[in-house]
Amino acid sequence: MVKKYVFGNPFETDAVTAKIEISEQTGGIGCGSISTENGFCFRYQMDRDDVIYGLGEANRGINKRGYQYISKCSDDPNHTEEKTSLYGAHNFIVISGKQNVGLFFDYPSNLTFDIGYTKQDLLTVSCERADLYLYVITGESAYDVTKQFRKIIGKSYIAPKYAFGFGQSRWGYKTAEDISNVVKGYRDNQIPIDMVYLDIDYMQDYKDFTVNPERFPDFPKFVQGMKDQEIHLIPIIDAGVKIEDGYDIYEEGVEKGYFCKREDGSDFVAAVWPGWTHFPDVLNPAAREWFGSKYEVLTDLGIDGFWNDMNEPAIFYSEEGIQEVNKAIAAYAKELEGKGSEQVAGDDEGEDIMNNANALPGEVRSKMEQLQNNPEDYKRFYHNVNGKMVRHDLVHNLYGFNMTRAAGEALQKIAPDRKMLLFSRSSYIGMHRYGGIWTGDNQSWWSHILLNLKMMPSLNMCGFVYTGSDLGGFGSNATRDLVLRWLALGVFTPLMRNHAALGTREQECYQFENIEDFRHVIGVRYRLIPYLYSEFLKAVNNDDLYFRPLGFDYPDDRRAIETEDQLMLGKELMITPVYTQNVSGRTVYLPEEMKFIKFMPDGSIYEEIMDKGTHYIEVALNEVPLFIRKGKCIPVVDVAQSVAQIDMGTVQYLGYDGASYELVEE
């Protein structure tokens, strides 16, 4: 059962699509207590065994107990354990224990979930303004509650089948030649691949919807040439539009008033990759339609997929921020002048200056350090929502959602019968109807393989089914074993993309020794694509989850509930990737009998039925493990070099004898 409550005067986020009548709060909301005296605060006393699921793209565990999380879309490339905010804001949790209750706080600004952080058994959810919708969902299990939630937020985005192929990306590919070399590296080594990503350097001076003509002398021909090799090129689109006379998108946006404005009506100016930019006001439906229509510039050139970046929106610095630094410097210079050189030499800071010409006083330094993603900047610009000016910080978490909505709505118009790949960095629940997400700038750390795994079911709970992380890690230097282990998890994530940052060690699969191991692991992905895509379509069409925590399927098994390094996938599988270094296997927990499968490097398949309980399984770097649930089977096909070449004629069934599988196709 779903109940909707209203507090104050909420902003309409469009997260929920179902029409639900507002319930009266006579005697509370049937769960916890609420106060609206000093902002909004929901309180709930957790039982010792309650598990708190949800929060989508968030740090730490599948059970969110024991920390605090703040929904505040942030461009933070350092996902260490203490971080409370990442790129998305997914305000849905499920309290699972004696009762099972789902709570969705539809509030687009900062919202704090204190889940036993301040007090071990106290859950509080609070925000500054008591203006929100709260949805309360009750059901028989966490899984049931989640499916009800998925139903009210509308059907998730369906990615094209090719997007289940493998993709290679790197920030630093600049020219057509760079891209061709990547394709050659894969095709020559017979490592299957379907996509190569274009990061910001394909653009002319980082201008959205332009292509650098020197780096790509005949772009449409290049795109077609790639298509002929069954490679889709996926360009990045950034949120900020470069300010430059003669750049049509900038000039049109200014003329039509489609950029975010300051209080005085002038266009807000922020620096990002292109230098000074304006932000398209994607919360204004007319501006959203306009910005979305620009994707056609690239679809006209043969492009059929995009990734939207920097849409928190990220800000390196603003004009106002720079003015503040300048003011602080001027004040300091004045102070120095007034004091005269002798006096200055006598005070601490003055001595600093004498010793080091670059030293600046604390005040100037702190102003400089605050330039990037400064909360003050988010109060300096406004959106035009139905003629009303809404200050950005009050709706901050909706920007990435609406940038991707702009693209999604436009792509439906541009090519109504063609599915396009679309995913975003920043998101809010509701965006799941328009595109997928990737989990942003992780690092080549073993702990981030596990973080990748733990985020997946939580994201599915919030509607984001087409998702994945940068395999091999974005920041830091990757090693061969880390990339192989991470790919063996990526075999199962809908988005399977190897991506790395500028300046890090090259981590394309053909850069390492024994390339055949990479060929094999990615080959396993292609053997499973018919099954994985079928389960993806089933999950989307039935408002169901592709990835689930074990506790969703085995709610009475405490050990299963506490197992957070394995996942249920579709109705048939459990996955148990290896995520530690220098090991020859790992321990797994089986909540019931299952069949252990290993895809061996020689192409054979190892099978062994294992009993309920704990087992140590051996998994070499070049093997891919999975478990098939009792009484189930899955289709597998022969390896293909691209999704288009998958031959269903080679299908065989793997699993329990006598089982059958219903394959769903597009």
- Please provide residue 460's backbone torsions phi and psi, each rounded to the nearest 5 degrees: -60, -40
Q: Give the nearer residue to ligand MIG in terms of CB position, either 50 or 309.
A: 309
Give me the DSSP letters along 230-254: T-EEEEEEESPEE--TT-HHHHHHH
Least spacing, CB of residue 425 vs ligand MIG, in Å: 6
Tracing tokens 């929060």 back to the chain, one arrives at 55
- Which of 46, 200, 395, 509 binds ligand MIG (CB under 6 A)? It is 200
| Nearest residue (beta carbon) to ligand MIG | 171
Type and span of the H or E element at 467: strand 467-468
CA nearest to 635, candidates 648, 624, 625: 648
- Please provide residue 245's backbone torsions phi and psi, each rounded to the nearest 5 degrees: -55, 135
Q: Please tell me the distance from the alpha carbon of residue 285 to that of residue 335, in angstroms, as a whole number.
A: 50
Q: Give the nearer residue to ligand MIG in terms of CB position, either 44 or 279.
A: 279
Q: Please tell me the distance from the alpha carbon of residue 581 to that of residue 558, in angstroms, as a whole number.
A: 28
- Please provide residue 511's backbone torsions phi and psi, each rounded to the nearest 5 degrees: -85, -10
Q: What mask, x for binding ligand MIG by CB under 6 A, covers residues 347 to 386?
A: ----------------------------------------
Q: Please tell me the distance from the alpha carbon of residue 496 to that of residue 509, in angstroms, as a whole number.
A: 13
Q: Please tell me the distance from the alpha carbon of residue 202 to that of residue 166, in angstroms, as a whole number.
A: 21
Least spacing, CB of residue 451 vs ligand MIG, in Å: 15
Q: Please tell me the distance from the alpha carbon of residue 274 to that of residue 258, in angstroms, as a whole number.
A: 19
Is residue 284 within 8 Å of 291, Cβ to Cβ? no
Least spacing, CB of residue 170 vs ligand MIG, in Å: 8
Q: Give the nearer residue to ligand MIG in terms of CB position, either 315 or 634.
A: 315
The residues in 558-587 that bind ligand MIG, with binding defined as CB under 6 A, are: none
Count of chain residues binding ligand MIG (CB under 6 A)? 10
Q: Please tell me the distance from the alpha carbon of residue 627 to that of residue 612, in angstroms, as a whole number.
A: 12
199 binds ligand MIG (CB under 6 A): yes
Q: Give the nearer residue to ligand MIG in terms of CB position, either 90 or 425.
A: 425
Least spacing, CB of residue 344 vs ligand MIG, in Å: 39
Length of the chain: 666
Pairing between β-strand 317-318 and β-strand 270-272 as defined by DSSP bridges: antiparallel
Q: Give the nearer residue to ligand MIG in terms of CB position, either 145 or 403.
A: 403
Least spacing, CB of residue 273 vs ligand MIG, in Å: 7
Q: What mask, x for binding ligand MIG by CB under 6 A, covers residues 75 to 114?
A: ----------------------------------------
Q: Give the nearer residue to ligand MIG in terms of CB position, either 208 or 441.
A: 441
Q: Give the nearer residue to ligand MIG in terms of CB position, either 236 or 484.
A: 236
Q: Give the nearer residue to ligand MIG in terms of CB position, either 310 or 636.
A: 310
Least spacing, CB of residue 111 vs ligand MIG, in Å: 23
Using CA atoms, how far residue 660 sits from 529, 569, 635, 653, in Å, is: 17, 17, 9, 8
- Which of 440, 523, 530, 591 binds ligand MIG (CB under 6 A)? It is 440
The residues in 310-329 that bind ligand MIG, with binding defined as CB under 6 A, are: 310
Least spacing, CB of residue 369 vs ligand MIG, in Å: 17
Q: Please tell me the distance from the alpha carbon of residue 252 to that of residue 274, in angstroms, as a whole number.
A: 18
Q: Give the nearer residue to ligand MIG in terms of CB position, either 117 or 171.
A: 171
The residues in 232-251 that bind ligand MIG, with binding defined as CB under 6 A, are: 236
Q: Give the nearer residue to ligand MIG in terms of CB position, either 278 or 425.
A: 425
CA nearest to 84, candidates 41, 48, 108, 115: 115
Q: Give the nearer residue to ligand MIG in terms of CB position, either 392 or 499.
A: 499
Type and span of the H or E element at 293: helix 285-293
CA nearest to 166, candidates 541, 515, 468: 468
Q: Give the nearer residue to ligand MIG in terms of CB position, either 13 or 404.
A: 404
Least spacing, CB of residue 515 vs ligand MIG, in Å: 25
Give me the DSSP letters along 20-50: -PBPP-TT-SSSSEEE-SSSEEEEEE--TT-
Least spacing, CB of residue 211 vs ligand MIG, in Å: 16
The 3-state secondary structure of 323-390 reads HHHHHHHHHHHHHHHHHHHHHHHHCHHHHHHHHCCCCCCHHHHHHHHCCCCCCCHHHCCEEEECCEEE
Residue 222, amino acid: F
The residues in 488-517 that bind ligand MIG, with binding defined as CB under 6 A, are: 499
Least spacing, CB of residue 470 vs ligand MIG, in Å: 7
The residues in 17-76 that bind ligand MIG, with binding defined as CB under 6 A, are: none
- Please provide residue 174's backbone torsions phi and psi, each rounded to the nearest 5 degrees: -110, -45
Least spacing, CB of residue 590 vs ligand MIG, in Å: 37
Least spacing, CB of residue 435 vs ligand MIG, in Å: 15
The residues in 138-177 that bind ligand MIG, with binding defined as CB under 6 A, are: 171
Tokens of 139: 């059901």
Tokens of 119: 């007090």
Q: Give the nearer residue to ligand MIG in terms of CB position, either 100 or 426.
A: 426
Q: Please tell me the distance from the alpha carbon of residue 625 to that of residue 604, in angstroms, as a whole number.
A: 13
Q: Give the nearer residue to ligand MIG in terms of CB position, either 200 or 560.
A: 200
Q: Give the nearer residue to ligand MIG in terms of CB position, either 192 or 473.
A: 473
Least spacing, CB of residue 75 vs ligand MIG, in Å: 7
Q: Please tell me the distance from the alpha carbon of residue 222 to that of residue 180, in angstroms, as a whole number.
A: 9
Cβ count near 578 (within 10 Å): 25
Q: Please tell me the distance from the alpha carbon of residue 312 to that of residue 378, in angstroms, as a whole number.
A: 10
Cβ count near 608 (within 10 Å): 11
Least spacing, CB of residue 336 vs ligand MIG, in Å: 36
Least spacing, CB of residue 616 vs ligand MIG, in Å: 37
Least spacing, CB of residue 270 vs ligand MIG, in Å: 13
Q: Please tell me the distance from the alpha carbon of residue 497 to that of residue 518, in angstroms, as a whole number.
A: 13
656 binds ligand MIG (CB under 6 A): no
Least spacing, CB of residue 308 vs ligand MIG, in Å: 10
Q: Give the nearer residue to ligand MIG in terms of CB position, either 316 or 653.
A: 316
Buried b (16+ CB within 10 A) or exposed e, 377-399: bbebbbbbbeeeebebbbbbbbb
Q: Give the nearer residue to ligand MIG in terms of CB position, either 74 or 84.
A: 74
Is residue 543 within 8 Å of 157, Cβ to Cβ? no
309 binds ligand MIG (CB under 6 A): yes
- Which of 230, 409, 441, 565 binds ligand MIG (CB under 6 A)? It is 441
Is residue 322 within 8 Å of 248, Cβ to Cβ? no
Residues that bind ligand MIG (CB under 6 A): 171, 199-200, 236, 309-310, 425, 440-441, 499
